[in-house]
A and B are shown apart, each in its own frame.
Chain A
Amino acid sequence: MRREPPQRPADYGPLLFPAGMLTLFFVVPFATMIAVSFFQREQGGFYTPAFVFDNYARFLSLFFGRVLAFSLFLAVAVAVACVVIGVPFTYLLSRSKRNIQIVWLVALLSILSLSEVMIGFAWSTLFSRTAGLTNLFVWLGLMEQAQALTPSFGAVMTAMTYQALPYTVLVLYPALVRLDPTLTEAARTLGASPIRAFFTVVVPALRNTILATLIMVFIFALGCYLLPQLLGRPQHWTLSVLITDQAIYQSNMPFAAAMAVFLVLVSLALVGLALYTGRQKEAK
């Protein structure tokens, strides 16, 4: 493998293909979206090229502010839930026998093959009054009467966490497998109980991986637009739901584009902030 920096323009040749793909499938659509977000909407029609700020001005309202705040809150909550469940789970998984690990990883990968629609309808059945989990609780004597758990915030959270958890585990798994198992043993010989060793050694040693996982799930959850509609009440709808609504049902492309651009900017700012605080802590 060559190590020295490229000398001649021809040395950059191998970069042409990925650069071309990136331009065609990412830069061009994204630039189009930014451009459209400044276009003038035609009432009853589509849109005409222009350079107006109407679309951005429109969601500077309390309603959209509230939706944005809820979207961010939901994404953070899902990210935290995934990490809180995923880290101990993956830690135990990485310490278990090889064939047990394979079974779990295959099962988790198979969740990824399910579409968001399937996951949504499956959970709405599981949370329903007639065929849902509560019937099982009644049968076990834990509940008096079967009841519907959806639509609710809990249902949205559960389904989104379920959907994001495989990604969480897959991101955490390599780091946890590589973690030196003698670190926890050393902590135990130094007087820490296994649980204490987990929180004082494993979690801090994986701080950067955990931060990266939080950011990944956060962004993943921000883009989720089906589950809040299927399992939540209108107040649980996220900005992504509104974007879909504007773009597809209201035919208001410029407004949808403006919301999407704004969402990207806000999430980039939050990710930057998280990385910055992480960097600060490391420097200390």
Chain B
Amino acid sequence: MSGLNLNHVTKQFGTFTAVNDVSLSVPDGTFVCLLGPSGCGKTTLMRMIAGLDLPTGGSIELGGADITAVPTHKRDLGMVFQSLALFPHLTVGENIAYSLRIRGIAKDAQKARVEELLAMIHLPGFADRSVNKLSGGQRQRVAIARALAISPKLFLLDEPLSALDAKLREAMQVELRQLQQRLGITTIVVTHDQREAMTMADTVVVMNKGEIRQAAPPVDIYRRPADSFVADFIGQTNLIPVEADSTGRALVLGRIVEGLALPAGALKGMLSVRPEDVQVTAPGNGTISGTVTFVRDLGGAIETFIEAAGQQVIAVSSPRNRPEVSVGQQVGIRLDPATSVVLAK
């Protein structure tokens, strides 16, 4: 089987388990984001893929070959580090050509490849500049070009955009995704920024405490989170306790929500509803009743904070259908079963 395959990969540091029994299959040419809070094991997992750390259990396959014990410099990969790790004593061109020089490629072939890569990252004519005199975004591009110089099978990026300011980061996300699609290279990015993951990835892998919680396309992660951790970590969500009544119907904040069902046999669960899926209406009429506690008008979106049965529910609406409510007002909340996800408690 081609692509990258992780089979039951485990990494222990003493008694601490950084990565616990992770299995993941990354087909050729896909873009995967490892997403999770700091300390979730995502960077350790990437370092094991790169060979910078060795797994204490499991195996890693790349292109059908077991590379678990292959040293880093013999793996066919390019990596961009969080610190970028540009060599301060080399020029832009020498940095990019480093992997070619190590492989003993002829000088003029090196030069041609550097020119080609500099054109690709929109920095033509930068070959003789010092890396210390570049801006943050330019350094970023040089690090990417350096990692791609040998056209590796696998492209790894560890928090690559974290040093950039917000605007540049957004632009680089789009650029990186477009570059990856143009080259068709298997790419894995470690990030803690869910926006970044949603922008770039074919598959988002959400990790927590060394384990994979969900691996799915971005929209699925957002619309159908596998558990409350994923629901809470990706975007904003309302997590509301849900119970089954005697006939098996779902009881939410004291009201039966028609069309919603708990998993067979479960008595309790957690309902995840995105704020944009919460409809605020007039009270009564079979809706959950609540009191408006706060209205935050952000211009582009209006957030309404509602307290219902001791639980805070946030509704987001666009200015076009602004709910005409004020603090203290009694309102009704309607939940659409189609956009509500019941999660195991």
Do A and B pair up? The answer is yes
Q: Are A190 and B89 in contact (CB under 8 A)?
A: no
Size of the chain B interface, CB-CB below 8 angstroms:
27
Among A182, A193, A207, the residue within 8 A (CB) of B85 is A182
Asked if A180 is an interface residue, CB under 8 A from chain B, the answer is yes
Q: Are A201 and B72 in contact (CB under 8 A)?
A: no
Q: 1/0 per position for B160-192, CB-CB distance to A under 8 A?
A: 000000000000000000000000000000000
Q: Kindly count the residue-residue contacts between A and B in the assembled complex, taking CB atoms under 8 Å apart.
A: 66
- For window 55-88 of chain B, which residues contact chain A by CB distance below 8 Å? 71-73, 75, 77-79, 81-83, 85, 87-88
Q: Are B147 and A182 in contact (CB under 8 A)?
A: no
Shortest distance from the beta carbon of A56 to any chain B beta carbon, whole Å: 43
Asked if A92 is an interface residue, CB under 8 A from chain B, the answer is no
Known: A190-B146, A205-B89. A182 touches B83 (CB 8 A): yes
Chain B interface helix/strand/loop/mixed: loop
Asked if B296 is an interface residue, CB under 8 A from chain A, the answer is no
Among B72, B82, B88, the residue within 8 A (CB) of A188 is B72
Residues of B contacting A197 in the complex (Cβ-Cβ under 8 angstroms) = 73
Q: Are A180 and B73 in contact (CB under 8 A)?
A: no
Residues of A contacting B71 in the complex (Cβ-Cβ under 8 angstroms) = 188, 193
Shortest distance from the beta carbon of B105 to any chain A beta carbon, whole Å: 11
Q: 1/0 per position for A157-174, CB-CB distance to B under 8 A?
A: 000000000000000000
Known: A193-B73, A201-B87, A205-B89. A187 touches B98 (CB 8 A): yes
Q: Are A180 and B99 in contact (CB under 8 A)?
A: no
Asked if A185 is an interface residue, CB under 8 A from chain B, the answer is yes
- For window 132-174 of chain B, which residues contact chain A by CB distance below 8 Å? 146-147, 149-150, 156
Q: Are B73 and A185 in contact (CB under 8 A)?
A: no
Asked if B52 is an interface residue, CB under 8 A from chain A, the answer is yes
Q: 1/0 per position for B86-103, CB-CB distance to A under 8 A?
A: 011110000000110011
A188 to B72, CA, bound (A): 6
Q: Are A205 and B102 in contact (CB under 8 A)?
A: no
Asked if B50 is an interface residue, CB under 8 A from chain A, the answer is yes
Size of the chain A interface, CB-CB below 8 angstroms:
20
Shortest distance from the beta carbon of B187 to any chain A beta carbon, whole Å: 14
Among A190, A194, A201, the residue within 8 A (CB) of B78 is A190
Known: A182-B81, A186-B79. A191 touches B87 (CB 8 A): no
A205 to B85, CA, bound (A): 12
Q: Are A185 and B52 in contact (CB under 8 A)?
A: yes
A197 to B85, CA, bound (A): 13
Q: Which residue of A lies closest to B83 (CB)?
A: A182
Q: Are A191 and B99 in contact (CB under 8 A)?
A: yes
Residues of A contacting B147 in the complex (Cβ-Cβ under 8 angstroms) = 189-190
Q: Are B73 and A188 in contact (CB under 8 A)?
A: yes
Among B79, B85, B89, the residue within 8 A (CB) of A204 is B89
Q: Are B102 and A192 in contact (CB under 8 A)?
A: yes
Query: Given A182-B81, A190-B102, A190-B149, list of 9 further CB < 8 A pairs?
Result: A180-B83, A180-B85, A182-B83, A186-B79, A190-B146, A191-B73, A192-B73, A193-B73, A205-B87
Contacts from B to A (Cβ < 8 Å): 50-52, 71-73, 75, 77-79, 81-83, 85, 87-90, 98-99, 102-103, 146-147, 149-150, 156
- A to B CB contacts below 8 Å, 23 in the list: A180-B83, A182-B82, A182-B85, A185-B72, A189-B72, A189-B77, A189-B79, A189-B156, A190-B73, A190-B78, A190-B99, A190-B147, A190-B150, A191-B102, A192-B98, A193-B71, A194-B73, A200-B98, A200-B102, A201-B87, A204-B87, A205-B87, A205-B89
